[in-house]
Chains A and B, each alone.
Chain A
Amino acid sequence: MKIVIIGASAAGISAAKTIKSTKPDTEIVIISKEDRIHSRCMLHKFLGHERDAQGISFVNEDFFEKNNITLLNNTTVIGLEPDKKIVKTHDNQDISYDKLLIATGASYFIPPIPGLRESKNVYGFRDLKDAQLLDTECLTAKNAVVIGAGLVGMDAVAALLERGLKVTVIEMTADIMSLQLDKKSAQAYQQLFEKEGAEFILNDKVVSVDVNAVGRGEMVHLASGKAVPADVIVIAAGVRPAFRFVEESEIKTNHAILVGDDLQTNINGIYAAGDVNGIAGIWPNAMKQGKIAALNMLGENLRYDDRYALKNTMNFYGLTTLSLGNINPEDEEKCDIFTREDRNNYQKIVIRNGIIQGVIMQGNINGSGFWQYLIKNKIDVSGINKDIFDLSFADFYGINQENGEYNYAV
Chain B
Amino acid sequence: MKRIIIDREKCDGCLNCNVACISAHEEGSNFYTVNLQSIDSETRNFIKFDPKTGYTPIFCRHCDEPECVLSCMSGALEKDPKTGHVQYDETKCAACYMCVMNCPYGVLKPDNKTHTKVIKCDFCEDKPDGPSCVKACPKHAIEVKEVSL
Contacts and interface: CB of A to CB of B under 8 A. Distances in A.
Interface in A390-410: 392-395, 397, 399, 402-406, 408
A369 interface: yes
B63 A372 contact: no
Interface in B64-111: 64, 67, 70-75, 81, 92, 94-98, 100-110
Contact of A404 (B61, B70, B73, B101): B61
Counting chain B residues whose Cβ lies within 8 A of the other chain, the interface size class is 35 or more
Contact of A405 (B64, B74, B108): B64
Nearest to B104: A373
B137 to A, nearest CB: 15
Given A284-B98, A405-B61, A392 B70 contact: no
B53 A404 contact: no
A367 B70 contact: no
A313 B96 contact: yes
A399 B8 contact: yes
Nearest to A290: B70
A367 B100 CA distance: 7
Given A367-B46, A397-B8, A287 B71 contact: yes
Contacts of B72: 58
A100 to B, nearest CB: 23
Contacts of A315: 95-97, 110, 115
A42 B93 CA distance: 10
B58 interface: yes
Given A58-B75, A315-B115, A322-B100, A403 B3 contact: yes
A66 interface: no
A366 interface: yes
Given A41-B94, A322-B100, A58 B106 contact: no
B71 to A, nearest CB: 4
B39 interface: no
A394 B70 contact: no
B110 A320 contact: yes
A1 interface: no
A264 B17 CA distance: 47
Contact of A21 (B81, B94, B114): B81
A10 interface: yes
B75 A393 contact: no
Given A42-B73, A315-B97, A394-B56, A406 B110 contact: no
B6 A399 contact: yes
A39 interface: yes
A18 to B, nearest CB: 10
B6 A370 contact: no
A291 interface: yes
A219 B46 CA distance: 55
A403 B147 contact: yes
Interface string B36-70: 00000000001010100100101001011001001
Given A369-B102, A370-B104, A386-B50, A404 B5 contact: yes
B139 interface: no
B48 A392 contact: yes
21 contacts: A39-B75, A41-B74, A41-B94, A42-B94, A57-B75, A291-B70, A312-B101, A315-B95, A315-B96, A318-B115, A320-B115, A322-B101, A367-B58, A367-B100, A367-B109, A369-B106, A370-B105, A397-B56, A399-B8, A404-B147, A406-B61
